[in-house]
Every structure is written in C-alpha cells, then in structure tokens.
Amino acid sequence: MYYPWGWARLLRLPQEEIQEIEQVVCNRDKILAAVLTADSVLIWYVKPCVPIISHRRSPASVQELGKNVLVQWRPDSSMLVVVTERGHLIIYHLVVPTDVKTLYELIDPPIPSLRRESDELFIKELIPPLIFSLAFEVEIEGGVTDIVPIREELMIATKDGKILRFSWEGQEIRDYTLDLKRIPFCVDQQVLRAVPLTDKNVHVSKLSYSPLIGGYALVFNDGRAAFLVASTLNFDPNSVTGIWALQLEDANCVALNHKYKLIAFGRKNSQGIVYCVDEMTGGLTVSHRLILPTRDYPGNPGPISCLRWTPDGTALVLAWQRGGFSIWSTFGTMIMCSLGWDYGPHVSDPVEQNPL
C-alpha cells in the first residue's frame, strides 16, 4: 500500500525562459527522467533530483520540423527519440563517459568551520555524466500521434490509421505494418464474425504495449478503445485481431498493469475504468471503475489527461486536464487526492494556507 509522505518539491528548470512542459518520461530503470518542452530536452537524475543535460533546438530546426510533442527512451537508455508536431523523429545518442566518476562532487573547503559534519549533507549517489548528441532525423509519412518502444523497435501510430514499426536505426520494417482497415475487430475471440474498421478519419491517438498481457491497448480519436492480440509473437499483420472495450465511448488515455494484467482507460467524463482479459473468451471485462467521491471534489475536474501505474503495479496515478491528481490502489480504492489542497505555491498566507 502507498501512503503520501513528506513535502512536495518544486523543481525549477535550468532555463532562462519559463516554458510549458510537454511530457516527463522516466527510463526503464527509473533512474533518469527526460523532461520535454516545445524546443528543448532536459535529462534529470531522479534521486536526488538534479539536472544533467539541457539541450535546446535551434529556432531554424523548430521552424522546419515543428515543436516537440513526445519523447521516449530506448529500453537500454542508450538512445532517446523525440517526436515533433510535423511528424519527424529526432533520435539522440546517450553515452556515459568512463573518465569522469561523478557529475556532482562536493569538496569541503580548507576552513574547518565551513566543513560538513552531518552525513545528510553528502551526496552518496554517483550521478553519471552523459554525452548527448544528435544521431539522425526521420520523417514519418502521415504524422505521428503516439510512439511506444518495444525491445529493439519502435511502434508508431500515425494519423492515417496505421501502426508502423521502425528500428532504432531509423529503418522501417514494412512487413509488420498494421493497417486498421485490415484488422478485424470483435467483442471477444469466440465471435466468428469480426468486422474491420470502415469509419473514415479514425486513427489511434494513444498506444500502449505489454508483453505479459500479450498485446497493444489502443485509444482511438473518436473515444473508442480496443486491445490488439495476435497468434504470433512477432505480431504478423495477418494474425492480429482487435477486441473492443465495451461500455466505453469517451476514452482519452490508457495505462497497462503488467503484474495484475489490467488495462486502465482514462475517460473524458473525469472517471477511469479498468478492464481485465477474460481467460475463457479472450474478451475485455470491466474490473472496476475509478470515480472521484463527492466528499473530495463535488464538481467535475475535467477529462483525464494521463494515467501511470507504479513500477510494482500496486498503485495508479491519475491526472486531470484542468489540474490535480489522485492515487488509487490496484483495485480501485482512492489513497489520496490533491484537488482539496491543490492551490499552487502562491497563496496569501504561506504559513496558514500553504497546501504543500
């Protein structure tokens, strides 16, 4: 069980101009975090929270390729991919040099009265320095809506209704391209009649993958949601089937729980809904719903903008588009909600009214 503890911390980005943060994504080991703004990429060490790299694109690059919208890590943290609003992939290399032991090394002054005496003043972690360099750029035809790294490949959802597979070297694997118009969708795997998507201008807006659940969770731009499964491990296009998530017409985002094999969708009505895969039929059944109690917030905080499971799969963090977040247990008990105290750091009386 998770419990909120300690004080919230405000981290200031090492930049002259204040910019809106587009995305924050940790690497697989949860040691490094990539912070994305419209024209820059920052890499932070997570614990302690200190910056390592701040890279800003030139104005000419932003004008030609578009602003940054998405970022993802390679599973081994050796590369980083940034998606721009005009459908370009910018791939960066990350190298840890061996000649420097740590990036932050505090040296005590010779004056005895200024030396540190408490162990809490020493940074015990070795914060690695990183060499950040541009590898190459790739243009994706049709525009990119979401991107997911799987093993040594990238799954890229496009606005023209396709899911492409690219290697980290920028080569498209055309034999495994998924076209939504050719994938049969049904309620469960026992239904004999499966119908492909015939709606125009329907594409995947959010994409998530789990090797333990064995498929891809999709959120479409029209609010519907589905789960892709296949009879082969490499997801051959001829063996892929889509399973609809029933009772869901306003999905906005998705997150997969690998440990308990759960699929959580965020809805536009400020609620969440969690599905599990029925082992008998292969269909998606509702496990539970995430409904905000009126005692915590009587109004509507807006659509859910983001969902994230903890690394051990025992808690789910839910954030709303208009601000505020909440933490839920695996099967739907709310642990905490910030809507009752989320007033920001600027209050009239910082002692009596400070929500932090």
pLDDT-derived band at 348, boundaries 50, 70, 90:
low
Q: 65 and 79 in contact (C-beta within 8 Å)?
A: no
Rounded Cα gap, residues 170 and 153, in angstroms: 9
Smallest Cα–Cα separation from 141: which of 158, 127, 125, 153?
A: 158
Kindly state the percentage of the chain with pLDDT values over 90. Answer: 56
Q: Clarify whether residues 228 and 341 are in a common domain.
A: yes
Q: Clarify whether residues 205 and 89 are in a common domain.
A: no
Parallel, antiparallel, or unpaired: how do β-strands 315-320 and 50-56 relate? Answer: unpaired
Q: Clarify whether residues 349 and 201 are in a common domain.
A: yes
Q: Clarify whether residues 354 and 220 are in a common domain.
A: yes
Residues 6 or more apart whose CB falls under 8 angstroms from that of 107 comprise: none
**Per residue in 73-85, pLDDT tens?**
999 999 999 999 9
Kindly provide the b/e burial profile for residues 140-168, where b requires at least 16 CB atoms within 10 angstroms of the residue's own CB.
Answer: beebbbbbbbeeebbbbbbbebbbbbbeb
What mean pLDDT is reported for the chain? 88
Please report whether residue 150 resides in a domain: no
Q: Clarify whether residues 339 and 201 are in a common domain.
A: yes
> Residue 69 belongs to what domain range?
14-108+123-139
Please report whether residue 235 resides in a domain: yes
Please report whether residue 118 resides in a domain: no
Q: Clarify whether residues 99 and 236 are in a common domain.
A: no
Q: What is the mean pLDDT of residues 58-68?
A: 94
Q: Clarify whether residues 103 and 224 are in a common domain.
A: no
Please report whether residue 114 resides in a domain: no
Please report whether residue 155 resides in a domain: no
Please report whether residue 32 resides in a domain: yes
- The yes-or-no verdict on residue 342 having pLDDT over 70 is no
Give the type of residue at 257.
Answer: N
Structural domain tally of the chain? Answer: 2
Give the CATH number, domain containing residue 275: 2.130.10.10
Q: Clarify whether residues 256 and 314 are in a common domain.
A: yes
Q: Clarify whether residues 87 and 218 are in a common domain.
A: no
Residues 6 or more apart whose CB falls under 8 angstroms from that of 245 comprise: 224, 225, 226, 227, 251, 263, 265, 275, 284
Parallel, antiparallel, or unpaired: how do β-strands 315-320 and 304-309 relate? Answer: antiparallel
* Helix (H), strand (E) at residue 56: strand 50-56
Rounded Cα gap, residues 87 and 16, in angstroms: 28
Q: Clarify whether residues 216 and 132 are in a common domain.
A: no
Q: Clarify whether residues 259 and 332 are in a common domain.
A: yes
pLDDT-derived band at 270, boundaries 50, 70, 90:
very high
Give the type of residue at 92.
Answer: Y
Q: Clarify whether residues 238 and 335 are in a common domain.
A: yes
Please report whether residue 279 resides in a domain: yes
Rounded Cα gap, residues 130 and 135, in angstroms: 15
**Per residue in 89-116, pLDDT tens?**
999 999 988 887 788 877 788 888 888 8
Q: For residue 344, what are the β-bridge partners?
A: none
Angle at 340 between CA 337 and CA 342, to 5 degrees: 90
Which backbone phi and psi does 221 adopt, to 5 degrees? -70, -15
Please report whether residue 204 resides in a domain: yes
Q: Which own/partner contact pairs does 64-70 have at CB distance under 8 Å and 24+ positions apart?
A: 65/90, 65/137, 67/38, 67/39, 68/22, 68/36, 68/37, 68/38, 68/39, 68/40, 68/41, 69/22, 69/23, 69/144, 70/22, 70/23, 70/36, 70/144, 70/146, 70/147
Beta strands per DSSP E along 187-279: 195-196, 204-210, 215-220, 225-230, 240-244, 251-257, 262-267, 272-277
Rounded Cα gap, residues 35 and 103, in angstroms: 19
Q: How many residues does the chain have?
A: 356
**Per residue in 205-224, pLDDT tens?**
999 998 888 889 999 999 99
